[in-house]
Amino acid sequence: MFSIIQAAGWPIWPLLACSVLALAVVIERFLSLRMEQVAPPKLVGEAMLVSRLAVPSREIIAQLEANSMLGRVLACGLQALSKNPRLSEDDLRSTLENGGREAAHELERYMAVLATIASAAPLLGLLGTVIGMIEIFSSQGAGVTGTDNPVQLAQGISIALYNTAFGLMVAIPSLIFWRYFRGRIESYVLQMELATERFARHLNSLRQSP
């Protein structure tokens, strides 16, 4: 492996850095986008059960908030209703929507990094290809004076081919994982929107009439 890196020349080092960063982002996203971390299926039912008669205690709301991203959104509504039992329905929905937007923004964390790597890696590979071609033409140009340099020619070809291949090897998985995580995030956002709407109707029944 080291011999390949050595043959590819210095242009491959930015690609190696991109590959390490992309791998770190992919691992982080797999850990952070687990269902139990984002939107546990039974959480809404459990939250409605503990608040079926009245707004629960602060301790229960804090447990709900620490449960998951969806739990934080639901806890926003309970906290708002706890502070102001006469909160209007519009204000209650607005509170839940703001919490949902914050959760959706957090779900998008590091996705821009992965998209940038998927876009930039082929260009970095192309840069290495251009540098390799310059090496090749330099060695051929030396032939005008009768001093062809086959070692320099071989080095230029290695730089061009290795960087092109490595750029694609970094970009293609990054793009695949970016598309995969995008679909997963969109699915979670939809689930959270439906759950929040259901919980908003439940909280509306707990409001005290002015």
What pLDDT, in 10s, does the model give residues 136-173?
A: 776 665 554 444 566 666 667 777 788 888 889 999 99
What pLDDT, in 10s, does the model give residues 52-78?
A: 888 888 999 999 999 999 999 999 999
**Predicted pLDDT of residue 152:** 65
What pLDDT, in 10s, does the model give residues 65-121?
A: 999 999 999 999 999 988 888 888 889 899 999 999 999 999 999 999 999 999 999
| pLDDT over 80 at 134, yes or no | no
CA distance readout (Å), 14 to 2, 10, 18, 34, 78: 15, 8, 6, 31, 48
DSSP H stretches of helix in the chain: 2-8, 12-32, 35-38, 43-50, 58-67, 69-83, 89-107, 111-141, 150-204
Sequence-separated contacts (24+) of 94-101 with Cβ below 8 Å: 96/196, 96/199, 96/200, 97/196, 99/72, 99/73, 99/75, 99/196, 100/73, 100/192, 100/193, 100/196
Direct distance between the N- and C-terminal alpha carbons of the chain, in angstroms, rounded to an integer: 73
